[in-house]
Chains A and B, each alone.
Chain A
Amino acid sequence: MTTTPPDTSQPQGPAPDSGPRVGWDDIRDLARIRRSRSDRKVAGVAGGLGRHLDIDPVILRVAFVVLTFFGGVGLLLYIALWLLLPEDGHDWAKVKLDRRSRTVALVMVGVLALLLLVSNGWWGHGAFFFVCLVVVAVAAVIATQLPNRGQPPHVQYGEAPAPGADQVTEPAETETTAAYPAAGYPPPSYAVPEQPRPVNPRKKGPILFWIAIATMAVAMGALGIVDAAGADVASSAYPATALGLSAAFLLIGAFFGRAGGIILVGLLAYAVTAGLTIADRWDLERTVARPTNAAEVQDSYRMDSGELVVDLGRLSPADLDGREITVTGDIGHLDIRVPQGINVDAHLDIDGPGGMNVFGQDEGGFGHEMDTYHYGGPDAPTMTIDAQLDIGGIDLHTEESR
């Protein structure tokens, strides 16, 4: 063996908080950033960034949490950095990129985060966010399953059975460092010497992730057989099965074994279940109310799901003068047409995710509400419209404004 014997007489390096202050050039060298192993709450991203920027990681942790409430940017950013940043003492992250590519990727992540931040939150550009989330999730799964490329083999702490874990770990660490002196890139000058990772008492027992995946495959396959045999199985039953099994394995994993990764599966299953449940219950029935005189105009129109068209376009503005009309629905599309030459004082409200088009102006979001006034012209009569929907879209327009 060419390994260097451990020199236990040397100090283990400077304390994390000591040393010179970080300069601008150091900060710009993004490839030097490492996830901290000693200062971590989740994956050491904030700890590593804080060290790189020479600021308190608590500030960054708060920023991540706050940004999560602004378009989910904090969550995405954290996951992306977790994937892209290597840990202390390593040159390869979960997504294995060389220094240059990693720098470019980090800049791109920053730009993407900025774009998301200036967009309109979780649901304002929901599809964009979910595409990003799915891409990051898939990248996470793929990256964590890829074999290590050019990375030193991970040292198994406590390989030699000995009562004192610390005494065993130090020689193993020294051997790793000495055996790969030229592999990859030199560690950053400010890198903290690799410390023995404290054993998490909650990470004991078998890894449940693959057992959960196998169980989900069996359960969903069985459901598919039942479906094929002619039973009436809703399409949302498949992801709901995955959701239920995620719950079961997480509850087991809370006390026994390691359930890492199942939360992500559960979140994806939840999103798909919600989408397919809405699709399952989407009654495509289209209801059209088209009054031709003032007496036929009702004060309120309602649907459960589907599309409700309230076409007031055949009435004269005078027929609607002073009328207050309420249009409500649960899931679907409300299409309200008003005649030209009338002022419309409208209040539109979507409780859940959805979008609205009001006299040619598009808006959307989660729990979106809008008060608007449409000017019909001089001496035009005025009507009031109150439209409420749980999930879906609302159109309010004249024939011309559409």
Chain B
Amino acid sequence: MKTEEIIKIFAEKKKSQGFTQEEINKTIFIAANVAISNLFKELDNVEEKEKIKNLGREFLRDPQNTVKLESLGKTVINKKGETFEEVLSRNLESFFNQL
């Protein structure tokens, strides 16, 4: 499932359960931090770490360029063949499912 859909479904579900929009937004922000942190934890060799370091530096050179952002997000970062965004998205969904 696409990241955008995961976020939309979570937000709509929590709204229907009576949570306020502000609480939902804050939770999404927290979940994003947890997802990024878990992405780091999953990296298990020098090659993967090196690849991800370069992605971060590359993005910071031009943070307004969303085309570049999309492209970097599609970079495969682990042995399973998952992209940067797929790993982030999986961790985000996993965290949402626990709430």
| A and B associate in one complex | no
Residues of A with Cβ closer than 8 Å to B? none
Residues of B with Cβ closer than 8 Å to A? none
